[in-house]
Structure 1
Amino acid sequence: MTSSTATLTPPPSGLTYARARLYLGITGVGSAVLLAAALLYFRIPSRGLAMSDAQSVPAALFRVGLLFAFAHVAFMVYDLIGGVSLVRRQAWGSRWLTRWLRGVAVQWVVWMLVAAALMLAARAAGTTAVIAVFVMVQLLLAAGRGRMVRVIAGLPIVPTPEGMARAAVQAGLDAARLQVLDCPDEGFVGGWSGITAQTLVVPFRWTQLPEPALAAMLLRRRLAATSGAHTRGVLGAIGWNTLGFVVSLVLTGASPASAAGVITLAAAMTLWAFLGVLLLPTPSRAAVFALDAAATASVGAAPMRAGIEALDAWQDDEPVRSAGVETVFHPVPGRRARIARLVGNAGAVKPWHAHHLARHALWLSWGAFTPLSRAVHCNVGRPALWAMLPGD
């Protein structure tokens, strides 16, 4: 099982761990956005790749695959910093490289399968079929999120510990729905897999939580499912990404029938994903506060506070953030803000609360070839967090 001890790596002088990772994420995301903007502004795909569907599908996909591989290699420097240097737990470089290669290989294969599906749909049936395929890809990614996190990071399933099963019963959750994964990355928090919250992935590390706090955290997850907040988050993310896909098709005039069209759409969807990174954290934070309050109404503030503090310490460990930083970059509020609103906040999840809307949009954007899903500060260089990003 994963050891509870961590060798903490000090951040650069004058920076907290959380702020150092934030600056890394800003740099990585900014680089991807600038590259995407340059590809579109200078029309580089149409100058360097075939725009016609007269080119055979294998030939077009071969060129697309080379460019996808180049994108992974070009981004490796950010992954290396985010996975080996700016981490709470120092790992040997060789172990990190093996995990990184596995993760990028899986993403490359997913991108290629999606590119092939979109290209064939565009050539056979046109734009409507392309949009339908894109929606179907997102539904498949949402449904298989738990399986994909194991494929990407090679995380083993372990038997549900007795204490965790007891906590699940206290939370009103069927312990048979738990899937416990042993993950060496302490930032891994798991989450619901499936569009309608079918399987709850839980990290084995959570056995270190006091049982009342563990029960409170599992109760939050149950409430996310029973209130519909999880499903709204998934469907809202699909809607957001699909809107961007349609806008990209219209504004660029590109079609994934050609190699140039696939790369053009990848660049346009990277810009759309960036817009989501800026706008979607605000409704995501509202859902976090609502679930906190609903769980507190059932179990009280003390176990909720203990759980929030422990999970934040394993992630950013940043008690206080400025309003500007939190508004733009953090879909999960800082722990002091969450704790301050545990008591006195309306203890109900409303029909408009969409849990992890921003996180789901990033994961499902694997179907749109954008690197932003693994460039943000919370998961850059950490393959175990690419499918299930850190959260609450």
Structure 2
Amino acid sequence: MTFSLLAAATSAASKAAAPANPLDDLNFWWNSSAAWVNGHWLQIGIAVGAGLTIYFLLSLLRSFALKRAQAAPGHFSLTDIVGRVIHKTRSTVLAIVAIRLVAGYANPPAIILATIQFVFTIAVVFQIAIWAREIVIGLIQRRAAEGHNETLNNAMGIIRLLISVALFAIAAIVILDNMGVNVTGLVAGLGIGGIAIGLAAQGIFSDLFASLSIIFDRPFRVGQAIKYDNSAGTVERIGLKSTHIRSVNGELLVISNTNLLSKEITNYAHLHRRRIQFAIGVVYQTTPAMLRALPALLEEQVKTAGQDFIRASFTGFGASSLDFELIFDVHDEDYDKVTAARTEIGIRVFEAMTAAGYDFAYPTQTTFTAAPDGTMIMPYAESLALEAGSGGAARSS
């Protein structure tokens, strides 16, 4: 531990001389430093020169890398993030690094070497925390820029604060641990405090993290049509706490982000193809030959319209029709084009079946009525019955 080494060095030096009063103590340290300078002036001079050279090279490297990063095109690109990290590299840290690299060559007293090591640790830990903050925030902003997300841009202030507090708290714990301080109790206290804060603001943080989940996972975006539970509509706004959806009937639905993610969401914008199904019924008087030819006729109409035919088949005997099923796919994300293709194929099928002599079935029902004496009254004119009877007699004769 650096702090322990510093204390040990101080204790050893104190025991070696044991001055009687503070003035003697100051004189002792002055004389010790003077003796070190006089005895190692050459090494000290070489170390100073080497340190200045290292500092100059590090500064030159930082300037060169920063210019290259800033010259690269694109905002919030990976190169831009690297440039921001380099820009946050402090000159003081470069100087401390240079001093630490050459300090051992000058053979300084233990107290001075321990002090340099202690300052070096503090500077490097905080510099790493600053780098980490810039990288994390840069990646978040890059994600926001890709989706042009206004919500995330508005939340960047809160996100920056939370990230900064977390990273610098970790940096402080690392430094205290390096100084020899027992940080177990501190870490436990911070954990308990974090749990208490989390429980107190559970609803707020739940919706906030749900909002970030929507932003980064992107199950839907603003302007896309989705179905949530039993509601459907177009996403108008994704907020930090709730999402606004304009229903197909015009109502504005405001749904909390937590509840929104707890249900199944159907995103119609990601449909690269839409399956259309037609149920077609023909009359029972249709001949078997015409029934066998009908699937090929339906397939021809779909392919002529330029869509992807799946199948056409007989499905069953209905109450008043022989039922067929036509299924085809429309490969387009625009729902208006899908409806246009569905309309076009429907009209083509109707024209082709009508021209081929098919009759479409519709629900029919025949009612028989009984007279008071129980005689059945036919649901058609008696003249037709007589004609039918005479015709039958003629055919019998």
Q: Smaller-chain TM-score range?
A: under 0.3
User: Which structure has the larger Rg?
Assistant: 2
TM-score normalised by structure 2 residue count? 0.26
TM-score normalised by structure 1 residue count? 0.26
Q: Which has the higher contact order (CA 8 A, sep 6+)?
A: 1
